[in-house]
A and B are shown apart, each in its own frame.
Chain A
Amino acid sequence: MAEATQLPPRATTSSRGSYFGGLLAWLGVLPFFLFAILFLVWPSSSLIVGSFQDTAGNWTLKNIADLFTPSIVNSYVLSIQISAVTAIGGALFGFLLAYAAILGGLPRWVRTALMTLCGVASNFAGVPLAFAFIATLGRTGFLTAFLVDVFGINVYQMGFNLYNFWGLALTYMYFQFPLMVLIMAPALDGLKREWREASENMGANAWQYWRYVALPILLPSLLGATILLFGNAFGAYATAYALTGGFLTLITIVIGQQIAGNVLYNPNLGYALALGMIVIMVISIALYTWLQGRTARWLR
């Protein structure tokens, strides 16, 4: 009993000073670090290392140079285009939606309902999402048939195709704009009423308030959120695969094909493809983090 009452204070306080105790404390996070190394750090760094080696294991920059062959560049460009289009489109629409629901003077329940819907929609992705859009806007889909029956408009004769770039973009939008709403809601909540009142007192009109007060404050979070949407679409594989069956050669699809069967006839070039994706994601997350830091100053 005496032991039990003596030990506890030591367990929480004594380790602070002693070097040995500090080392012992690190043991507590060892399983997590082991897991992270085995299933995250090592696999990804092995790809990075592999992209600077040839099949025999010698160091080379040839794989990186080979990334600039037209078909691979096209894949990156296609992925970047679809991510940029859906990020910007999703950001604009999501922002307008969040603004309407939060500052548009609508009843409170609209906002609650919208946030719930967005929580669901931003998580409804992958294969089921592709199926939903095929059932709705495919050649025999519900909306396609409805437009023919009621308005006599055949969108497929007008050049629309769900299985090409714009069809995929439309599908991605389903999880992109809800994510934007979820990210922007707290930022819009952070716009203080006093700022608007203060600018009005000084004679600013609505446009001036937006141009000189609200927008500069919101801009970092707007840009940051757009970058997050970009990354969200850039890494997507399942939705595109289920929708187009690998017909649109996004970079993720090419990597998937390379895993399933060595289509590039050079596994190390495959690793370089993965490295390129990681580099683009690192750049976007770094930008995002930097912009987050700028937002945090105002939205406390």
Chain B
Amino acid sequence: MRKINFWAWFWVILGGLYFFLPLYGTLDFSLREQRGVLSLLAYQNVLNDPRFRDSFTYSALMAVATIVVGMLLIVPTAYWVHLRLPQARPIVEFITLMPFVVPAVVLVFGFIRIYSGPPLALTDTAATANMLLMFGYIVISLPYTYRSVDTGLRAIDVRTLTEAAQSLGAGWFTILFRIIFPNLRVALLSGAFLTFAIVIGEFTLSNLLARPAFGPYMVLLGQDRAYEPAALSIMSFALTWAAIGLIQLLGRGAPEQRQLGGVH
């Protein structure tokens, strides 16, 4: 038994080192902008950069729009499939897995082929290009949000809730927004935090659609600064940690739900 324990500790510690060393290295590096002393100068520079504020605000708003529109699209669909259209389940599930097969760079290539010229020139104006980016984000977060909502729906008795609401005279709108959405809040919040973590630093779509998002800003900064990118990296990590931490906090007591992978 002692031997097994030794190797178990060995691998776990090695894994821990792989996890923490780059973080520690980045943190250390980000504090060394001023020669000889540890300082928060790199963080101050980043936070005082108007381009940081603009691009971060842009991406945060994008994340909120993605979450709201995505949920309005996914929750009624998943609900309807559970309640009335079980025969549509294979097709819907197939669609939600398609983003795994179509990498982001390929997806955006398709967007540009279709939507950068007539008849649907969505990339021509800022508003429609933002809309295109938002729908792209909904697509890449689809596998995670759909699974999250689907697990949530399995955990509640959709049929009984619906019939109870109907017998009290509720219409579909009331059922969806006052019964189903509130009952799914844990699943919805998990999906929302994960979407936020995916969208906030996303680079592929936003860069290739030429949108002023946070990801392209980070790459731009990385090309001419040394310490500020490390500071940004630490801040992004803190955001990821917060998002995933909240998901795990929410998931306590609920049926075990794992989030697999993000967008690289």
| Contact indicator A32/B77 (Cβ below 8 Å) | yes
Interface string of A222-245 (1 = CB under 8 A from B): 000000100111111111011001
> Which B residue's beta carbon lies closest to that of A289?
B97
Instruction: Out of B19, B203, B243, name the residue touching A127 (CB < 8 Å).
Output: B203
| Contact indicator A255/B109 (Cβ below 8 Å) | yes
Cβ-based interface call for B92 (8 A): yes
Given A12-B162, A143-B21, A177-B15, are A128 and B106 also a contact pair (CB < 8 Å)?
A: no
Most chain A CB neighbours (cut-off 10 Å) among B83, B113, B236, B248? B113
Cβ-based interface call for B99 (8 A): yes
> Which B residue's beta carbon lies closest to that of A111?
B12
| Contact indicator A270/B222 (Cβ below 8 Å) | no
> Which A residue's beta carbon lies closest to that of B243?
A123
Distance (Å) between the CB of A177 and the closest chain B CB? 7
CA of A36 to CA of B259, assembled, Å = 22
Cβ-based interface call for A125 (8 A): yes
Cβ-based interface call for B61 (8 A): no
Cβ-based interface call for B4 (8 A): yes
Cβ-based interface call for A274 (8 A): yes
| Contact indicator A141/B25 (Cβ below 8 Å) | yes
Cβ-based interface call for B145 (8 A): no
Distance (Å) between the CB of B21 and the closest chain A CB? 6
> Which B residue's beta carbon lies closest to that of A142?
B25
Residues of chain B contacted by A179 (CB below 8 angstroms): 260-261
| Contact indicator B85/A44 (Cβ below 8 Å) | no
Interface string of A200-241 (1 = CB under 8 A from B): 000000000000000000000000000010011111111101
Instruction: Out of B100, B169, B233, name the residue touching A131 (CB < 8 Å).
Output: B233
| Contact indicator B113/A46 (Cβ below 8 Å) | yes
> Which B residue's beta carbon lies closest to that of A42?
B114
| Contact indicator A142/B229 (Cβ below 8 Å) | no
| Contact indicator B101/A105 (Cβ below 8 Å) | no
Chain A interface residue bracket vs B: 35 or more
Residues of chain B contacted by A237 (CB below 8 angstroms): 103-105, 203-204, 264
Cβ-based interface call for B88 (8 A): yes
Cβ-based interface call for B35 (8 A): no
Residues of chain B contacted by A296 (CB below 8 angstroms): none
Distance (Å) between the CB of B168 and the closest chain A CB? 8
Given A117-B19, A260-B208, are A25 and B85 also a contact pair (CB < 8 Å)?
A: yes
Cβ-based interface call for B52 (8 A): no
CA of A106 to CA of B21, assembled, Å = 22
Interface string of A119-132 (1 = CB under 8 A from B): 11111111111111
Interface string of A40-54 (1 = CB under 8 A from B): 111110110010000
Cβ-based interface call for A167 (8 A): no
Secondary structure at the B interface, as helix, strand, loop or mixed, is: helix
Residues of chain A contacted by B169 (CB below 8 angstroms): 4
Most chain A CB neighbours (cut-off 10 Å) among B73, B110, B112, B215? B110
Residues of chain A contacted by B111 (CB below 8 angstroms): 39, 43
Chain B interface residue bracket vs A: 35 or more
Query: A132-188: which residues lie under 8 A (CB-CB) from chain B?
Result: 132-137, 140-143, 172-175, 177-179, 181-183, 186
Interface string of A70-97 (1 = CB under 8 A from B): 0000000000000000000000010011
Residues of chain B contacted by A140 (CB below 8 angstroms): 226
CA of A123 to CA of B11, assembled, Å = 21
| Contact indicator A132/B22 (Cβ below 8 Å) | yes
Residues of chain B contacted by A242 (CB below 8 angstroms): 203, 218-219, 222
Distance (Å) between the CB of A49 and the closest chain B CB? 10
| Contact indicator B215/A127 (Cβ below 8 Å) | yes
| Contact indicator B24/A142 (Cβ below 8 Å) | yes
| Contact indicator A128/B7 (Cβ below 8 Å) | no
Cβ-based interface call for B107 (8 A): yes
| Contact indicator B113/A231 (Cβ below 8 Å) | no
Residues of chain A contacted by B263 (CB below 8 angstroms): 125-126, 238
10 closest pairs, A vs B, by CB? A104-B8, A43-B110, A235-B103, A136-B25, A8-B166, A142-B25, A128-B236, A135-B29, A238-B203, A100-B8
**Cross-chain pairs A/B with CB under 8 angstroms, 10 sampled:** A11-B166, A12-B159, A39-B135, A40-B95, A42-B114, A114-B12, A125-B264, A128-B237, A179-B260, A235-B106
Which residues of B are at the interface with A, using a C-beta cutoff of 8 A?
1, 4-5, 7-12, 14-16, 18-19, 21-26, 28-30, 73-74, 76-77, 80-81, 83-85, 88, 92, 95, 97-114, 135-136, 138-139, 159, 162-163, 166-167, 169, 194, 197-198, 201-204, 208, 215, 218-219, 222-223, 226, 229-230, 232-233, 236-237, 240-241, 243-245, 247-248, 258-264
